[in-house]
Homo-oligomer: A and B are copies of this chain.
Amino acid sequence: MSGQEFVRIGKRLFSEGLVGGNFGNISLRANEGFYITRTGAYLDVPGTPVLVPLKGSAPAGASSEYRVHQAIYQKTGYKAVVHAHPAHAVAASVALSRIVPVDSEGEMLCPVIPVVGGAPGTDELAENVAKALEERPLVIARGHGTFAAADDLDHAYLLTSLAEHSCRVLAYSGFFGGCRR
């Protein structure tokens, strides 16, 4: 596991502004479980990923968000997961109970983006996200961020980019935000 693919996808996520700081994490299914980015890693310089078993606790160094990834790989057949914190998608998840894109790509590829609850790091969040991904490849944890699942890292990144694009279009055209006060 060289991690070169993690670097390539991490740099794309960073340069598009889909993550900032050391937020977000990436994983890829392996024979023996899945590889995930390290806890606290910057996704554009992620270092060596950590191998986590499909069940049970993770070794030291794995992202603290490993439970969500583990639950996804247990419940679905997906091979790659990208978790990011794109600001418009997070804002949409705070303002709306479910997100219905009005741009063409959103309408085609994710006509409804479900919003689920659960605090970061909890089994509740892991279950809610994995359950939602059994039906659709993209979900937003309310106030937290996107989880996108696919057969490879590129497609999980692309769903993440799409989620933010769809939410930017919704925000700019006035479907949420604006005048709460």
Contact = CB atoms under 8 A, between A and B. Distances in A.
A173 B88 CA distance: 8
A46 to B, nearest CB: 14
A141 to B, nearest CB: 7
Contacts of A95: 173-174
A72 to B, nearest CB: 18
A158 B43 CA distance: 13
Interface in A106-136: 107-108, 119-120
Interface of A: 12, 14-17, 20-23, 42, 85, 87-88, 90-92, 94-95, 102-105, 107-108, 119-120, 141, 143-145, 154, 157-158, 161-162, 164-165, 168-169, 171-181
